Amino acid sequence: MEQPIIKLRNISFHYDDRAVLDNLSLDIYEGERIGLMGPNGSGKTTLLYIIMGLLKPSSGTVEIFGNDKTKRERLH
């Protein structure tokens, strides 16, 4: 079975006390195209920042090509 290139599981993100993403799960497979639509402030850019690793989710996991990007990498 084909594995997703991007796998999000139970992603939540908060700005202070405001929940922007709440328990979002999503699989994106090679060759797929997706569109993110919603009103201002609904979390579209936040989701992309989380996928790119620019923001860390409050909870949940992000896997890119099978590598968990939410685990903290050890600095030497």
> What does the alpha-carbon distance between residue 15 and residue 1 come to, in Å, rounded to a whole number?
37
Res. 70 pLDDT band, cuts 50 70 90 = confident
pLDDT tens, position by position, 11-62: 999 999 899 999 999 999 999 999 999 999 999 999 999 999 999 999 999 9
Answer for the pair 46, 55: CB distance below 8 angstroms, yes or no. Answer: yes
76 pLDDT higher than 70:
no
Say which CATH superfamily domain 6-68 falls into.
P-loop containing nucleotide triphosphate hydrolases (3.40.50.300)
Res. 71 pLDDT band, cuts 50 70 90 = confident
pLDDT at 74: 57
pLDDT at 73: 60
